Structures are given as C-alpha cells and as structure tokens.
C-alpha cells in the first residue's frame, strides 16, 4: 500500500515555503507553484488537501497517490486526539467488506501539528491570487480567466456569507453521527416527514394522442390552439426567435388529420404525432432560420436538419419555431441573446434561466408541448428549474450532436424540456440513439424510457424501495459560512429547504437517503470555464464572414479587416469574452497552466462523481443556488452569472445524465418561483432517472400552482 506522507499546517506568512511544500497534489501530479520570474504558472485548480475520514475536514498534505486498489481511511490528527481512531488505521476491501472503495475521497495522515482552520490555506491562496493577477496584466482576457480562478479561491465572495478565507469550499462534518466504518463520509438522515400523495395529470403528449385517437379534437384544432397561444404570449414572453408560419403548421396538422381519417393508426404516425414542439435556435432546422441567438448568423438557414430535428419530425412532431437563447448558448439567463431577452412566465420581470431560456419559457407558458434544448454547463437544467419544468440533460453521446451549433464540443448535449417526466421520456426515446454522423455518439442500446413510468395508482406504498440516493452535502450544507467545503454561502436557504424536503419525500417513498461528500465538487466550475471557453474559441472560429452569415468590412479593409469587422459586429460581448478567455487558455506557454490543468480537474471531478454513483443510484442536489433572478440583475457581473452554474457544470464535465424536476417554490413573483431538484444518474441511466423523477413528480407533496396571468391587462 502506498505510503502517505502528509504535512500539517504552516503558519501564516510562510507562503513561499508552503508553496514549495505543496508541490504534489492529491493526484500525485506536480503542482506548478514555481515562482521564477517570467514563468510563473498559475495552478488554478490545484487541490492539495484530503478529506478526513472522521471529521471530514480537509487538510493540506503532500501525498503520493494511492494505487487504485488501495483504500485509505485515515483520520486526521485532530480526530486522533479525540481518540476516535488509532492513527493510520487502514482497511482494505477484503478485510472490511462494508468499506466502500473510494480512494479519491479520503486519505490523510497529517504529519504536522494541529491544523489551524483556514489560516494556512488562506495564505496560500491569497498569494496564488496575487500571482494570478500579476499574470493577468498581460491581456484583458487574462484578467477574467484569473478572476475565475481567484473567485474560486476567494470564496465566491460576492455570494455573501462564506469565505473570508479565500478557500476552496471544503466539506465539514454535518452531524455527530459520523459513520467511521464507511469509507464514504455518509450521514444517515434520520428526519422523516409525512408523505402527502396527490394526483398529477398525465403527460401532455399522451393527452394529445388520446384526443387525436378518440377524434375528440383534430390535429388542426390542437395546432391552432398552440399557435394562438404563441401569438398571444409572444409580446410579453419573447420565447421565440422565429415562429413557423401558420400555414406551414396547419398544413402539416391537416395532413395528419387526413391520415387519421384514412384510417391510419396513430402509432404508425409516430410517437410525437401532432405534438407542437419548440427547437432551440442553436439546433439546425432545414430552411428555417437558425441563428444561435447571434447577429453573426442572422438570416442563416441551414441546408440540413439536425439529427434530433429529423428524428422528431419523423416522429410526427410539428416544429413551432426556434426558441431564444443566450448567444451560442453562452449564458445562464437568455439575456445574452443578440435579439431580445426572454421573460420568465412565472414573473415577467425575471429571467427564464439560460441558455435554453426560450425553450423553457415556451414550454412553461404552453406555447408548445415540449422543446429541445442544449446543455453545455446547465443550459437545460437551469431554465427547467427557473420555469418549473422537467429538464433532462442526457449522457454525453446518448443524443447525436449533429446539427447542434457547437459551443464546447466535449460538453455539449442536446436534451429536452417538458411539462412532465412522461413527456420528457417520450421525447428522449425519440431523439436518443447512435448517429453515424456523430463520432461521439454512443452505440449503446436505447431502452424504452417510458417503460418504468407506471401510473400513480399502480404504485406500491414504497415505490422507491431499495433505491439508494445520495444528497451532495456540499450543496445543501448549513452553517455560518465559515465551514470548509460547503457551497453554502451562495445557496439560497429556500432552495436548500426545498431540496431537503424533496429528499425527505423520497425517503418516504422507500429510498434510502444519505449525505455524500464530494470534495472536488467546487472545483468543477473553474475547470468548466477554462475548458468550455477553450473549445468555444475554436468552435466559433468558423464565423469569419467568408462562407455564410454576416460579413462586414470586406470591401475596403482587406482580409484582416473583414475578419475583425465581421466578428466585432457579429459577436456579442459575452461571446467575445469567452473567445478571448479560451484563446488565452490555449496559448503557447499557458496551455499547461490552464487547459491541461482543467482537464486534470475534469478527470478528478468525473472520478468522484462516478465513484459516488457506484454507491448510490442517483445523487440529489439543487439545480441552481437561487430561483430565477431579475432581468438585468447579473448582466453586468459575468462572474456572478458564472457562479450560478456551479451546481450543474460538474455533470457536463463528467458526461453524466441529470434530470431536473420541480420540487417546490420560494417566495417571489406573483405566485412564487419554482425550484428544481436535480438528480444525477449513472452514464446512460436516463431510464432510471426518469423513473425516480416520475415517481417523485406523481407523488410530490408540493405542487406548482397555475402560472400567473401572462398577458398584462
């Protein structure tokens, strides 16, 4: 078993020594803390600490990575002093079958003196921050990139209470019921609440199909109804960048009616026959404008349908229009659209979330039954949470990306927003599957996602019996904000309560609910913003005015002038910011410090999530730190906007599926603001997630009320 030599704390003020001491992070990788002039490398994402088995405190250390098979469960010095365990107790899987192998989480044996909470790390990171800033002087992009790094260290400062210390948020012991025998720091939640089961109407897709089948209503009637709602609500919502013409839609609907009249089976017309569907405007639709919310693609009409669009069309869906989004999917509020801002149907003064805000607003306001969205760092889940919808971000590779206008290719996924889990499951079944035109799409079989969605009356008393759920402690922690590791400061207490209530409800349904600590959780955000911007800088290079889209300045200024002018006028400020950051991160001399380091962190984040999911069937956490915020509230503060993605980006980094279901409201707006519960599942475990989500949705004690009146008097 590999030896672990751990270091204790270092007194404040000994930055230099510390920086050299912590030369190896928990992965055994060199952390570039060298300070030689000119080549100072910024270890944006260095993690030089491990979690104590017993008290779950983090301690800086210097360690050799344990071999994969080795498991360490060493309590920290502080705990030893409390006599909770003998020093360097080691267990192996064979000796302790109950122990869960999770080496990435734990492994520590402090060798030094008692650690002074916060102090040492604070010293480390403030000096790191200053390094970051000295590098930052080089370029404008740098400053932002570094700010990301710094913000992570300086503790989400703008989020409030937490972290005057400038620490990476650290986990802390949650209850005294510390299960020493477990490798994971798992805390049994003993609270129980009464479950209150209420009925929930079946999904809208099935409803439409029933009406069509029984000839209760014709497809034309249904389409007209949706079209009229689109027309009525657009002036206040602005969900769509482009709406299909009435003629187009009604012709298709009439054709469907004709087929039915001719005696064709509805099933033969496809699972989405007659379902008005919205498509996010960064998904290519043949002949229909596709702008990705950017001026640079104004009027661009793709010559081909994205694979997902082709699939839903083949399944009989009617494409209502192209929904608004943050330009190229870059944003969390849909305010970065180059055309207009979309309002949240729950409160027109608030954002619908982003970047799939148009899709979310349209579905929430019933302008369409369901909508396709894309999720690169939470762009489906955040709007689903803000608008009280079900949002599913599938596993990377489950759904073809062909025709999705690329933002960050290794993170992008296409998913669905719907009013019910059942609708989402039907949509997912249609759009999933391998596509030979997308090398990254998976060949794994697509299950019937609706199979596990039983009607409410056939539920057993404990429909989730045997399901192990883990609630990610860092995201719902409580405390004074000084506790290590808890992303508490930024998370609204109403949101936390809603998630905790949801957790209790799930327990009522038979699931076991434990807390799980993911020490790398907070590392995802800066890594995400390095990787996503790097890929974006590359993916957006094609908008050069040569072949399509906007072209400016070509007549007089030569090639370079055309490039500059086209991109200057065609791209919005947020897009430019990310291109600059990404270009910087990939530049020679900075690659190792940013891109490579971020990839390493990505691996850590992924490993941690995958390991946690080897124990739990799904992980629970909030979708966003807050409910929908006001339009304009964060638009001038890109960093605070970025921080809103902290609950969602890790899932993209790990490529896992995640489902958001509404779980309650917090005060705000005329009728409260929805909060979404996020469930992270195993790779290709969408079916499982949908089942849990369905059971939760059908039995949830908290029901979202009807939308407020959307048309101002």
Catalytic center residues: 280, 355, 379
- Contacts (CB under 8 A) with other proteins, residues 535-554: 535, 537-538, 540-542, 544, 546-549, 551, 554
- CA angle, residues 675, 454, 265, in degrees to nearest 5: 110
Residues in region 330-349 near other proteins by CB under 8 A? none
Work out whether 587 is an interface residue with other proteins (CB under 8 A).
yes
Tokens of 698: 């059908």
Q: Is 561 a binder of other proteins (CB under 8 A)?
A: yes
The smaller minimum CB distance to other proteins, of residues 45 and 509, is found at: 45
**Residues in region 642-671 near other proteins by CB under 8 A:** 655
Binding pattern to other proteins, positions 589-618, x when CB under 8 A?
--xx--xx--xx-xxx-x------------
Q: Could you tell me the CA-to-CA distances from 171 to 58, 459, 483 in Å, in that order?
A: 7, 37, 7
How near is the Cβ of 512 to other proteins at its closest, in Å? 27
Sheet holding 187-188, edge to edge: 187-188, 512-516, 468-472, 618-622, 673-680, 658-666, 390-393, 413-418, 370-375, 276-280, 318-323, 240-243
Q: By CB under 8 A, is residue 246 in contact with other proteins?
A: no
Q: Which of 156, 386, 563, 616 binds other proteins (CB under 8 A)?
A: 563
DSSP E strands: which ranges in 347-447? 370-375, 390-393, 413-418
If one asks whether residue 27 binds other proteins (CB under 8 A), the answer comes out as yes
CB of 546 to other proteins, least distance (A): 5
The minimum distance between CB 612 and other proteins, in angstroms, equals: 16
- Of the two residues 28 and 708, which places its CB atom closer to other proteins in the complex? 28
Please report, as residue ranges, which positions from 275 to 304 form the binding site for other proteins (by CB under 8 A).
Answer: 283-284, 287, 289-292, 297-304
**Mask 184-223, x = binds other proteins (CB under 8 A)?**
----------------------------------------
Q: Which is nearer to other proteins, 39 or 193 (CB)?
A: 39
CB of 361 to other proteins, least distance (A): 15
Q: Is 313 in the site for other proteins (CB under 8 A)?
A: no
Q: Which residues contact 344 (CB under 8 A, 6 or more apart)?
A: 350, 351, 352, 353, 361, 364, 386, 387, 628, 669
Query: Burial level of 466, CB count in 10 A (0-12/13-18/19+)?
Result: exposed
State the DSSP H helix or E strand holding residue 121, giving kind and residue range, or none if neither. Answer: helix 119-136
Q: Contact at 8 Å (CB) between 594 and 132?
A: no
Binding test (CB under 8 A) with other proteins, winner from 395, 678, 688, 698: 395
CA distance 167 to 640: 17
Q: Is 241 within 8 Å of 293 (Cβ atoms)? A: yes
CA atoms within 13 A on the CB side of 336: 30
The b-or-e profile of 215-242 (16+ CB within 10 A means b, else e) is: eebbbbebbbebbebbeebbebbbbbbb
Q: Rounded to the nearest 5 degrees, what angle is found at the Cα of 616, between the Cα atoms of 613 and 621?
A: 85
Residue in the block written with tokens 């270890």: 43
The reply on whether position 107 binds other proteins by CB under 8 A is no
Nearest-approach distance from CB 14 to other proteins, in angstroms: 28
Q: Which is nearer to other proteins, 343 or 562 (CB)?
A: 562
Of positions 12, 23, 29, 85, contacts other proteins by CB under 8 A: 29
159 to 156, 509, 642: CA distances (angstroms): 5, 35, 12
Looking at 317, 562, 621, 704, which residue binds other proteins (CB under 8 A)?
A: 562
Binding region for other proteins (CB under 8 A) out of 160-168, 402-410, 504-512, 692-700: 402-410
Residues 421-480 contacting other proteins, CB under 8 A: 434, 436-444
Stretch that binds other proteins, among 208-216, 477-485, 492-500, 532-540 (CB under 8 A): 532-540
Establish how many alpha carbons lie within 13 A of residue 607's alpha carbon, considering only the half-sphere containing its beta carbon. Answer: 16
| DSSP 8-state secondary structure symbol assigned to residue 589 | T
Among 396, 616, 642, 692, binds other proteins (CB under 8 A): 396
- Among residues 410, 462, 481, 707, which is the contact residue for other proteins, using CB under 8 A? 410
Q: Which of residues 75-94 bind other proteins (CB under 8 A)?
A: none
241 near other proteins, rule: CB under 8 A? yes
Among 63, 389, 404, 647, binds other proteins (CB under 8 A): 404
Peptide bond between residue 355 and the one before it cis (omega within 30 degrees of 0): yes
Please, are residues 644 and 671 in contact by the beta-carbon 8 Å criterion?
A: no
Q: How far apart are CA 381 and CA 351, in angstroms?
A: 14
Our finding on whether 41 is near other proteins (CB under 8 A) is no
CB of 442 to other proteins, least distance (A): 6
Q: How far is CA 387 from CA 64, 89, 350, 419, in A?
A: 46, 49, 10, 10
Q: How far is the CB of 301 from other proteins (least distance, A)?
A: 5
24 interacts with other proteins by CB under 8 A: no
Q: Spell out the SS3 assignment of 152-197.
A: HHCCCHHHCCCCCCCCCCCCCCCCCCCCCCCCCCCEECCCCCCCCC
Number of residues that bind other proteins (CB under 8 A): 87
Identity of the residue, 297 or 498, whose beta carbon is nearer to other proteins in the bound complex: 297
């Amino acid at each position: 078993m590999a030896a672990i030599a751990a270091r204790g704390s270092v007194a404040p003020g000994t930055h230099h020594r510390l920086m050299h001491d912590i030369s190896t992070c928990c992965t055994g990788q060199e952390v570039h803390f060298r300070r030689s002039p000119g080549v100072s490398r910024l270890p944006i994402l260095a993690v030089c600490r491990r979690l104590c088995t017993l008290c779950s405190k983090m301690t800086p250390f210097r360690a050799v990575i344990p071999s994969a098979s080795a498991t360490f469960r060493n309590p920290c010095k502080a705990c030893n002093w409390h006599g909770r365990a003998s020093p360097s107790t080691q267990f192996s899987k064979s000796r302790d079958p109950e122990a869960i192998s999770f080496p990435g989480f734990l492994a520590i044996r402090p060798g030094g003196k008692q650690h002074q909470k916060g102090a040492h790390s604070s010293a480390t990171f403030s000096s790191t921050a200053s390094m970051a800033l000295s590098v930052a002087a080089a370029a404008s992009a740098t400053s932002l990139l570094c700010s990301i790094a710094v913000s992570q260290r300086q503790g989400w400062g703008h989020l409030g209470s937490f972290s005057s210390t400038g620490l990476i948020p650290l986990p802390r012991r949650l209850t005294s019921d510390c299960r020493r025998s477990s490798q994971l720091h798992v805390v049994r939640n003993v609270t129980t609440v009464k479950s209150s089961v209420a009925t929930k109407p079946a999904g809208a897709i099935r409803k439409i199909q029933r009406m069509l089948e029984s000839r209760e209503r014709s497809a034309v009637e249904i389409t007209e109804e949706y079209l009229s709602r689109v027309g009525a609500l657009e002036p206040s919502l602005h969900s769509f960048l482009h709406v299909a013409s009435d003629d187009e839609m009604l012709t298709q609907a009439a054709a469907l009616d004709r087929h039915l009249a001719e005696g064709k089976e509805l099933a033969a017309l496809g699972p989405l026959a007659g379902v008005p569907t919205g498509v996010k405007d960064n998904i290519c639709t043949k002949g229909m404008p596709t702008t990705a919310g950017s001026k640079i693609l104004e009027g661009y009409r793709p010559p081909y349908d994205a694979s997902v669009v082709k699939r839903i069309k083949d399944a009989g869906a009617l494409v209502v229009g192209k929904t608004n989004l943050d330009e190229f999917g870059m944003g969390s509020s849909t305010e970065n659209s180059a055309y207009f801002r979309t309002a949240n149907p729950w409160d027109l003064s608030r954002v619908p979330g982003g970047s799939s805000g148009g899709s979310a607003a349209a579905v929430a306001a019933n302008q369409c039954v369901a909508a396709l969205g894309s999720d690169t760092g939470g762009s489906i889940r955040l709007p689903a949470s803000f608008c009280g919808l079900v949002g599913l971000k599938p596993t990377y590779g489950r759904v073809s990306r062909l025709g999705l206008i690329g933002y960050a290719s290794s993170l992008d996924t296409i998913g669905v927003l719907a009013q019910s889990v059942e609708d989402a499951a039907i949509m997912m079944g249609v759009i999933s599957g391998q596509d030979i035109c997308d090398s990254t799409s998976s060949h794994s079989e697509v299950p019937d996602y609706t199979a596990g969605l039983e009607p409410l009356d056939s539920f057993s008393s404990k429909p989730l019996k045997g399901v192990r759920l883990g609630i990610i402690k860092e995201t719902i922690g409580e405390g004074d904000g000084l506790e290590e590791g808890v992303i508490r400061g930024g998370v609204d207490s109403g949101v936390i309560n809603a998630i905790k209530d949801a957790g209790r409800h799930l327990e009522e349904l038979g699931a076991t609910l434990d807390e799980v600590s993911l020490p790398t959780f907070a590392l995802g955000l800066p890594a995400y913003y390095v990787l996503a911007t790097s890929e974006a800088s590359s993916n957006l290079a094609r908008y050069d005015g040569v072949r399509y889209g906007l072209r400016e300045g070509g007549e007089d200024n030569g090639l370079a002038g055309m490039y500059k002018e086209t991109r200057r006028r065609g791209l919005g400020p947020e897009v430019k910011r990310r291109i600059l950051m990404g270009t910087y991160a990939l530049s020679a001399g900075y690659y190792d410090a940013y891109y490579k380091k971020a990839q390493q962190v990505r691996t850590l984040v992924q490993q941690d999530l995958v390991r946690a999911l080897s124990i739990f069937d799904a992980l629970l956490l909030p979708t966003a730190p807050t409910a929908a915020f006001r339009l304009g509230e964060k638009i001038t503060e890109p960093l605070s906007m970025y921080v809103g993605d902290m609950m969602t980006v890790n899932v993209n980094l790990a490529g896992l599926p995640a489902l958001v279901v509404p779980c309650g409201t917090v005060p705000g707006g005329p009728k409260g603001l929805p909060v979404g519960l996020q469930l992270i599942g195993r790779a290709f475990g969408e079916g499982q997630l949908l089942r849990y989500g369905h059971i939760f949705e059908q039995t949830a004690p908290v029901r979202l009320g009807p939308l407020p009146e959307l048309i101002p008097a």
